Amino acid sequence: MHRGFALRWSHGTVAELLTGRHNSLGLLRLLLASAVVVSHARILGYGGKEYLHTFTGGQTDLGKLSVYGFFVLSGILVTRSGMRLGLGRFLWHRALRIFPGFWVCLMVAAFVAAPLLYWRLHSTLDGFNGPHGPFDYLTSNWAVATNQYDISGVMADGRSAGLVHNGAFNGALWSLRYEFLCYLAVATLAVIGVLTRARRAVLLITAVLGWLVIRQASTDAFWAGPYDARILENFQLPPFGQINTSFLIYLGFAFALGAVIELYKEKIPVSDPLGVAALAVLLGSLHYGYLFTVGIPAFAYVLVWLAIRLPAAFRRVGAKHDYSYGIYIYGFLVQQTLALLGYTRWGLPAYLALTFVFTLLLAMASWHFVERPAMRLKDLRLGKGRRGDDAQPARQAPDKPVPSSEDVYAGASPR
């Protein structure tokens, strides 16, 4: 692999250079997750607009843009996993990567943060365990769904008191259902052989999703994506709850772009001029419009280019310990808790610093005590040597299972 930094038209292909852990995907995921926390600070702590909202003319903001970045990266890594594993093993890996950390996060919100904040507001816990209380919160949201946002009216009372500006305990979890639906789509395509024998079908799916996006976004330079796409009907999908069709299309398009990059990686050059040009297109579309017609595809290439071309020292970030998922699932909860406790009175820099301190501590605990131990079960035999599913992973499993790059990195998106 090329280790120099001289600008060249081509250093090789994505297939040659984006392999194993010799890349900066861990750093990029950490930056995207942290960007969500930074973006939320203004709106959760002070009721203002998120960063980049004005710069982009209302098209997006720093947090939402990070969501698209996460879906692109997940599209690459989850598609790779889908081609490598059988159906049962694939779903088992994806479930281990999302559910244990997610469930513990729900319990922290329900049984640690919620009673503390309820006491802060009412000086008693009487009435805490009533309708829409902590147990309802768990049963309503366990399937990576956010069917209940508040717990015992804590955030509603906090808004009435002027302490918080959002009614959700952990509104960032909303995107998990769409990510998991993308996982199920990959599983379906893998089972019917599309990923290995008919990859052009993925190109067609991506083109259709792109057409649905462009059909709307091309009529308005500053179209705000799914936040403007209100003409599409929502639908109920048990156990995930209500699905916003517009979010499914827009986020699905970003995920599909990543899938196409993975499937056609041997044809995609890693080019510095192309990388710089894609970055210019992204920045231009953010400020001058048409983000969803040209900016998001350019963003997909920028992420791949950076993952390969950033200095080698950055490749160590997240290579062994991936805190990005924990930062995502705990950032919003920490910010709401600090705001309701009144720590916004010290100003945005102090509020943001406290947010990162507590969020990182929780993210580290989540990784070391929940996520990584759960991922050690990834090679657990799910059956007795079923061909093409459990037999191959069991045969290849080392004595001490080490998560592969897609298992470490492919997790939920932030927001």
Residue 414 within any structural domain of the chain: no
In a domain, 81, yes or no: yes
Paired tokens of 383 = 């059956």
What is the distance between the alpha carbons of residues 110 and 73, in angstroms, rounded to a whole number?
31
How many domains, in total, are found in the chain?
1
pLDDT value for 393 = 41
Query: Tokens 């790779």, residue?
Result: 80
Model-level pTM? 0.90
2 within domain boundaries: no
The residue segments making up the domain with residue 177 are 14-409
pLDDT at 384 over 90: no
In one-letter notation, the amino acid at residue 126 is D
Beta partners for 235?
243
Q: Is residue 77 part of a domain?
A: yes
Q: Would you say residue 313 lies in a domain?
A: yes
Residue 330 has pLDDT above 90, yes or no: yes
Q: Is residue 9 part of a domain?
A: no
Residue 3: inside a domain: no
For 368-382, how does the pLDDT look when each residue is reduced to its tens digit (9 = 90+)? 999 999 999 988 775
Q: How far apart are CA 304 and CA 73, in angstroms?
A: 8
Asked if the structure places residue 6 within a domain, the reply is: no
Residue carrying structure tokens 């993975």: 262
Count the neighbouring beta carbons within 10 Å of the beta carbon of residue 219.
Answer: 8
Q: What is the pLDDT of residue 236?
A: 87
Phi and psi at 237, nearest 5°, equal -135, 90
Mean residue pLDDT of the chain comes to: 89
Q: Is the pLDDT of residue 397 over 50?
A: no
pLDDT band at residue 309 under the 50/70/90 scheme: very high
